[in-house]
Structure 1
C-alpha cells in the first residue's frame, strides 16, 4: 500500500527537494495536498513510522475516538459523506487519512521509515540540511514541520517506576498483545485518553485502581450513529453536509464567549457537568471524589457517557491518596498502603509545551530551537520563528484549541504557507525570516489576552501552561475565524528577505553525488 523508501542509503549522497515536510498526520498531509493542488510537485513527506496517520496512527488504545464532530474534524476540501458516527473512532479517522493520501496522489512523495534526527539551516547555501536517523541526508529550500504538539508521551517521574516487574505502557503505546482479563490493573492519570479506555477495560480486569490527582470536568457526549438516510443525503446532495459542518462550526465557536471573553459564563456550563455527574454517580462519597474544585474550562473539558458508570463498578476504585513510590509488584501510597498490580497503564498525556527534543532543529548562527524558546515556545502566527528562515510550523505555539477542530487551524496555517511560497516565487526570494519585533509584538498581545482567559483565571494547573514560566504557550485565545483572518495573507513587511541566487530557488548542487528526485 505504501510507497517504498527509495532514498540512497550511502552516507555520502544527498537528496534535494524544494520543500521537505516532516510528519504525515493531518498537518503534513494537509500541507502536501494543498501543494499538489497548487501545482507544486517538488516536495517530499518524511515519516518516521511505516504508515501515514500521525496521532491517529500512534494512538490506538481501546475506545480511542475524537472529541470533535466528524464533519468538522476533517479537511474542508475532502468531506467524507460516510462517517458512521457523529464522533468518529480512531480506526475510521486513520482510514480517512489513508484515503486522502491515495485520493490526492501523495504516495510517490512519501518517504516512510525515516525519522528526522536534525535539520540545520545552511546560511551560505540558503537551504535546510536534514540528517535522518539512519544517516541519510536531504537538502531542501523550505522545511515544513507537521510533527504536532501531542506526539511525545509524558512519563511521570515516580520513584521506582522503572523497577516495576509487570507490564507497563503508555496509552499511546498500547500493548494489544497483553491480556488484561483477570489482571490487577493500575491506571495512572484521568485525562482525555483515560476516560476513553477505562470504560473499555474495566469489565475485563479483576481489579482496576484509577490513580487520580485532579478530577476532570466531564460533559455528556452528544454522540450517535449517522443514519443511512443522512449518509445518502451527504453523498448525493453535498451541500447538506456543508450545512451540517457550518452549523457545528458556529456552535463550537460560541464556546469562546465563556473561555476567553466572559469566563463567568462557564458557571452555567458547570451546572450541566454537575448534573451529568449526579445522574451517573449515585454514591455521594464517590461523587465528591470526582467533583473538581476549579472552574470548568480551566483544564481540557472532556466528554463521555460511559466513564462515570465505569467508576461505579465494584471492581473499580478511584485512589486519591497520592503515590509515594512503585515496587516490583505494587504501588505504594503516601500513607503506606500497598496496592498490588500486575499491569500499569500510563494515561499521563504528552509534552505539549516542549514537543521537540533538543538538537532536532538548528537555525541561524547554530541556535537550537529550544534555546530560542528558553522563555517559552513562541512563533509569529504560530507558524514562523525568528532566526529560523524558511521554517514553517504547522500546529505551532498558541495554535491549539480548547473548543473546536484543529483541522480548521491546520488549514489556516497551510493557506498562509502557500501564500508565503507564492510571494517567494514571484519576488524571486531565496529565504524569508520573520522579524524579531514582529514576533515579539504578536506574542505579547497573545499573552495579554490569555491572562484574562479561563485557562489562567480558572484556578487550576493544566498542561496548557508551561511549568517553567507560567505562560500558556499552547492555546489560541480567541475565535478560530480570527486566526483564519490573521493568516489569510503573507505580509512581506513582517519578514527579512533574501533574494534568490538563481531562478530555480535552490543553489546548484555543490557535490557531484547530489541527487534531485
Structure 2
C-alpha cells in the first residue's frame, strides 16, 4: 500500500501518539515525530514535581482503543500515566518514528513543490537537520512554555529556584528535610506540591497564594477521604482483565458523567451554577486557614477558572509545618521571598507553580499567504476547528484555539482531532491531492459561531489563561459545549470548506443527495408495500393512491394537518425499517 504523504509531527506527547496511531491504521507510515525532550510523553514527561497526578480518571485519560485494565487507582500518579503512554508507543512501533532531542526550528512552504522545508536542531550532535515533507503537524499542545515571573532581587537570592513544569530529574524532595520551601501558586500544580511536601513534618512549607480558586471536594463527601484518588482492588482489575466489555462500559459511564458537568457552564444556567457553588463555598470557607478566609473564596462562578481538585491541599494549609501566606510575590531577597504587603519569608527553595504562557507564539512556520509569526499571540491565530489556519496549507494543529476541555478529558479531544487530521492526510493519498488549505470564509464563520457560544459561558466572568490579552480579553482556549458536540463537528471533514478538495466536495454532495433519495425510497417502499403504510399515507395526504403517486399534489398536501404530520413521521420510520429488514 502507498504509504502516502510524508508527515512531520512536532511533539511526542499524547497528541502526537494519537495521530501516529490513526496514521498507521490507514497505512500512512511515512511520518516522523520530532521531540525536543529526552523521552516520549509530552506533558507527563516534562512535569515531574512532587505529587504530580492526573485530575481526570485514568480510564478516560487513556486511549479508547487501548485500555489498561491494571490501573493502580482512579487518578494514578504521573509516573504510571507516563509509563502507559510510553509502553503504548513502543507496543505499536511508534517509538521507531520518534527522533528525541530534536528541537523544531522552522518550516517554509514551497508553492512550486507543495512541500515544507523543515529545519530541526539535533541537540545531541548540535547540528541543524533539514528535510522536506508534504504535511506538517504541531502536536506541542498548550502547555509548552512555562511562565516564570521576572522578579527584582532574583540575582541576589542564594537559594534554589525551580519551576514546577521543569522539575530537575535528580531533585528528590527528601533533600528538603530540615529546609523551608516557598511554593508560589495555588492552582493545580501548587495544590499538589503543597499537599505532598506537607506530608513530611521535617519540611517547612510557605504556601503563597494571590488569587482564589474553586477547590473541588474529594468524592461525594468532602470529609470522606483525604485523597481524591481511590485504589482499585485486585478483584476489580481481574474483572476488567477477564471481561474487557465491563471496562468499556465503565469508561462510557465515566465519560457521560463528566460530560454532563457542562450544564453549569452556560450563563443561562446560572441558577444551577449557584446551587452547586453554595455547597462548595460552605465547605471551602470552613476548610480554609485563617490567613486565607478573607480572600480565599472566589466571587466568580464555578468553572470560570479551571477546577482544582482539593486532594488534601486545604488540609495541608492547616498543618503546623505549613505557613499559609496570602499575597502576590513581588521579589526575592538574599534569604527568601517578598510579597505585596512588604512581608518577607526565608526560604531555602522557591518553587514557581505559576503555570504556562498559553499565548506564546513560538513556531516559525511560513505558509503560502500567512506566517504563524504574523500573529503577536497564539490567541490571534485564526484556527478552523482549532486545527487549520488559512494561508498555511498542509499545516495542522492539535489542541489549537477552542479545543481544550473545561470539564472532561483532553484525550477525548485529541483522539477526535487526530482522526480528523488523519482523514485529511488519507484523502491526500487516495485522491492525489498535493495541497489542502482551509478557506478563509469557512474559518471565519466557524470561529465567529464558536466565539458567540464561548461569550455566553462562565469563562467570561474571571481573569484566567482561558482568555486573551493576559486573561482579560475574549475566551479563546476552550470548546464551548459538550464533548459529544465537538466529536460530531470533527467526525468528518466538510470538503467544500477546503481549497484543493473540490472533487471530494462534489462527491460528498452527491453522496448526501443519494442518501436522502435512499431514505425517501425506503420510506416509499415501506409505506406502499403494506396495508398499514397505505392507510397511513391516506391519513397524511388525503387523495394519495398507490397506483398514482403523482397524487402528491399541492391540493393534497394542503389537506395535511399537524396530526397527519405526526402520523407521517411514524410512517417514515416504518418505511425505513421495512427496507432495512
Matched, 1:271 2:271: no
The 1:370/1:56 distance shift into structure 2, 3 A limit, reads farther
Written as runs of structure 1 = structure 2, the 5 A alignment for 1:64-213 is 64-133=52-121, 134-175=127-168, 176-177=170-171, 179-204=175-200, 206-213=203-210
Q: Report the Cα offset of residue 284 of structure 1.
A: 5.2
Written as runs of structure 1 = structure 2, the 5 A alignment for 1:242-253 is 242-253=248-259
SS at match of 1:267: helix
SS at match of 1:62: coil
Residue equivalent to 1:291: 297
Residue equivalent to 2:12: 24
Residue equivalent to 1:231: 237
Q: Report the Cα offset of residue 466 of structure 1.
A: 1.2
Q: Report the Cα offset of residue 161 of structure 1.
A: 2.9
Distance 2:338 2:420 in 1: 51
Residue equivalent to 1:510: none
CA contact 1:198–1:310 (8 Å) conserved in 2:
yes
1:461 to 460, 463, 485: 463
Q: Report the Cα offset of residue 77 of structure 1.
A: 0.8
Q: Report the Cα offset of residue 287 of structure 1.
A: 3.6
Matched, 1:492 2:495: yes
The 1:474/1:316 distance shift into structure 2, 3 A limit, reads same
CA contact 1:466–1:473 (8 Å) conserved in 2:
yes
1:338 to 344, 349, 354: 344
Matched, 1:416 2:416: no
Unaligned runs of 5+ in 2: 122-126, 220-228, 504-581
Distance 1:220 1:268 in 2: 15
CA contact 2:359–2:379 (8 Å) conserved in 1:
no
Unaligned runs of 5+ in 1: 1-15, 501-517
Q: Report the Cα offset of residue 406 of structure 1.
A: 0.6
The 1:235/1:374 distance shift into structure 2, 3 A limit, reads closer
SS at match of 1:291: coil
CA contact 1:431–1:499 (8 Å) conserved in 2:
no
CA contact 2:370–2:392 (8 Å) conserved in 1:
no
Distance 1:65 1:327 in 2: 32
CA contact 1:353–1:377 (8 Å) conserved in 2:
no
* TM-score of the aligned structures, taking structure 1 as reference length: 0.88
Q: Which has the higher helix share?
A: 2
Residue equivalent to 2:478: 475
CA contact 2:146–2:357 (8 Å) conserved in 1:
yes
Residues 34-79 of structure 1, C-alpha deviation per residue, up to 9 Å, x if partnerless?
1111112111111111211000111011111111111111100111
Residues 431-489 of structure 1, C-alpha deviation per residue, up to 9 Å, x if partnerless?
11101111111111111111110100x3x201111125712121000011111111111
- For CA contacts below 8 A with separation 6 or more, give which structure has more relative contact order: 1
Residue equivalent to 2:527: none
Distance 2:397 2:38 in 1: 23
Q: Report the Cα offset of residue 159 of structure 1.
A: 2.4
Q: Report the Cα offset of residue 373 of structure 1.
A: 5.5
SS at match of 2:331: strand
CA RMSD of aligned residues (A): 2.2
* TM-score of the aligned structures, taking structure 2 as reference length: 0.79
CA contact 2:160–2:350 (8 Å) conserved in 1:
yes
CA contact 1:217–1:291 (8 Å) conserved in 2:
yes
Distance 2:431 2:410 in 1: 32
CA contact 2:159–2:336 (8 Å) conserved in 1:
no
Residue equivalent to 2:551: none
SS at match of 2:391: coil
1:217 to 170, 192, 214: 214
Distance 1:366 1:214 in 2: 38
Distance 1:437 1:269 in 2: 40
1:349 to 343, 346, 355: 355
CA contact 1:429–1:499 (8 Å) conserved in 2:
no
The 1:321/1:24 distance shift into structure 2, 3 A limit, reads closer
Distance 1:373 1:186 in 2: 31
Residue equivalent to 1:509: none
Q: Which has the higher Rg, Structure 1 or Structure 2?
A: 2
Q: Report the Cα offset of residue 493 of structure 1.
A: 1.1
The 1:201/1:375 distance shift into structure 2, 3 A limit, reads closer
Residue equivalent to 2:24: 36
Residue equivalent to 1:511: none
Tell me whether 219-228 or 307-316 shows the greater mean CA deviation. 219-228
CA contact 2:337–2:346 (8 Å) conserved in 1:
yes
Distance 1:322 1:58 in 2: 26
Matched, 1:406 2:410: yes
CA contact 1:17–1:141 (8 Å) conserved in 2:
yes
